[in-house]
Amino acid sequence: GAGVSQSPSNKVTEKGKDVELRCDPISGHTALYWYRQSLGQGLEFLIYFQGNSAPDKSGLPSDRFSAERTGGSVSTLTIQRTQQEDSAVYLCASSLNIGDQGAFFGQGTRLTVV
């Protein structure tokens, strides 16, 4: 597609379950970001992939959070043993070169942990 695609758009899960969120970046974009946005808040940086470099995981809030990017394209953010405080919108963005242009965002996945 022409833009960043995220799935699912909405996810309701029970506390303690694992969830996987998917991001399809714009074709050819080497940089991929995951952010978390709680209601009425700003974007909290989670993790960043740039080409084949080791990802920057410094923003992950706990070891329950992990992400991978296969083949330099699709990325999956996994949250294990979900907690209610994990409820938020998870946004993915991609960029060809972050130093020359802004990152382009998907619509996000709204995660609700009940």
Partner 1 sequence: GENVGLHLPTLSVQEGDNSIINCAYSNSASDYFIWYKQESGKGPQFIIDIRSNMDKRQGQRVTVLLNKTVKHLSLQIAATQPGDSAVYFCAENIPHSQAGTALIFGKGTTLSVSS
75-94 positions binding partner 1, by CB under 8 A? 91, 93
Considering the rule CB under 8 A, would residue 56 count as an interface residue with partner 1?
yes
99 contributes a contact to partner 1 by CB under 8 A: yes
Among 16, 41, 61, 66, binds partner 1 (CB under 8 A): 41
Q: Of 92, 80, 74, which Cα lies nearest the Cα of 35? A: 92
Of the pair 41, 62, the CB lying nearest partner 1 is at 41
Rg (CA), the chain: 13
Instruction: Using alpha carbons, list the distances in angstroms from residue 83 to 15, 17, 90, 100.
Output: 5, 9, 15, 37
Of positions 26, 49, 75, 82, contacts partner 1 by CB under 8 A? 49
